[in-house]
Amino acid sequence: MSRDGPPRLSEDKRQKAYTRPTARQITELRRRLPHWRRQSALKGTLKNLLALALYYSGIFWLAGRCHRYSGSRGAVVLYHRVNDIAE
């Protein structure tokens, strides 16, 4: 595959790199956005117990066996830029 023109940087490198939000910004976001609030320890524990119960019940093992013996195949192709000289 040929390309027209000289290589160039994909984005302006003079801007500040992304940094994690400060503690003050996180507090403000949690106040404004309800889904950013931390869940209670009890709720988290119950979710984990439910996930473990589903996993150890054998449902995923059974689904894997059914898929393996059905003969169907699938593929996922992911493409992304790997350098800064891409368009």
Q: Is 60 inside any structural domain?
A: yes
Question: In sequence order, which residues have a C-beta less than 8 Å from that of residue 7 and are 6 or more positions away?
Answer: 85
Handedness of CA 28, 32, 35, 40 (dihedral sign): positive
Shortest CA distance to 25 belongs to which of 15, 35, 14, 36? 36
Q: Is 24 inside any structural domain?
A: no
pLDDT in tens, 13-59: 666 777 888 999 988 888 888 777 777 899 989 999 999 999 999 99
Residue bearing the bigger pLDDT, 76 or 57: 57
Q: Is 45 inside any structural domain?
A: yes
Provide the residue range defining the domain that includes 45.
40-72
Residue bearing the bigger pLDDT, 70 or 48: 48
The token duo for 43 is 């709720």
How many separate domains does the chain show?
Answer: 1
Q: Is 33 inside any structural domain?
A: no
**CA–CA distance from 52 to each of 34, 47, 65 (Å)?**
27, 9, 19
